[in-house]
Amino acid sequence: MKIAFVLDPLDSIKTYKDSSFAMMREAAARGHRLYAIMQEDVMWRGGDVLAFARELALTSDPYHWYEASQATESSLAAFDAVVMRKDPPFDMEYVYSTYLLELAQRQGARVFNHPKAIRDNNEKMAIARFAQFTAPTIVTRQESQVRAFLAEHGDIILKPLDGMGGTSIFRLHRTDPNIGVVIETLTHYGRRTIMAQRYIPEIVRGDKRVLIIDGKPVPYSLARIPKEGETRGNLAAGGRGVAQPLSPRDGEIAATIGPILAAEGLLLIGLDVIGDYLTEVNVTSPTCFQEITEQTGFNVAGMMIDALERQAG
């Protein structure tokens, strides 16, 4: 197959941990041809969705891990699969990319994840579809509502709806002297909607990433355990990743959500679960492939490429 990956700049990819790289390495080992497309290289012209794509050859050098051809213009429909792996922020440029990729689908391109499904499932807000699995949560931009929520629960987490990697996440206690300034900063004085969740003490045992591929869960999660003095478990915020088998509750959540989102065209999703509670549904570029594989021997990238071959073959 010819597989095109829509990615961040290639030289920014950390091959020792990057999940997109794990997919490319697995696909190359099976003899598939790899192509890289930058977000800005996708365009609509003359009624067609086109892109400047570079064919990649992987090397064994971790510091110079690829050789790339000159970029050539191609219809996205000419590839057997187009894998959208551009990292957030999910800004308007990301939205425009989903529009272009959706047009490409109508012209015969096979795009994973489905661009409309990415657009429709904000990674924070998507938990509202599965409220039976969530801790007490409120989404608002009104300071009075956040203060009332804090007064009710005493210990809460605040976060923007468009963040990633643990950025701009705050923990507030009822007696915190900075309540007003934190709320004002996150909501931009009531102009931006945010999410507040009751603090889940089980975070000390990790923020679990549960990967679901084509509706079926990977049998291991990666518990991202916060470093000392930190609330956030995100690896980007210094968390430590520990792979572990799915708990019965993890399995229940995955078995409910996986088939629903797979039917909408989300081939790969990453659930975030703290204790027994669902906190996020990641659909843009879920990670943790390599950490799970290295610690358990389970070939997550192999499961992903198997699914891609079924869907695109």
Q: How many CA atoms lie within 13 A of 161 on its CB side?
A: 19
pTM confidence score: 0.94
Q: What is the pLDDT along the chain (313 residues), one digit of tens a residue?
A: 999 999 999 999 999 999 999 999 999 999 999 999 999 999 999 999 999 999 999 999 988 999 999 999 999 999 999 999 999 889 999 999 999 999 999 999 999 999 999 999 999 999 999 999 999 999 999 999 999 999 999 999 999 998 777 788 999 999 999 999 999 999 999 999 999 999 999 999 999 999 999 999 999 999 999 887 677 667 776 789 999 999 999 999 999 999 999 999 999 999 999 999 999 999 999 999 999 999 999 999 999 999 999 999 7
Identity of residue 212 = I
Residue-range domains of the chain with CATH: 2-118 (3.40.50.20), 136-199 (3.30.1490.20), 202-312 (3.30.470.20)
Which residues are annotated as catalytic?
124, 159, 209, 224, 232, 272, 280, 282
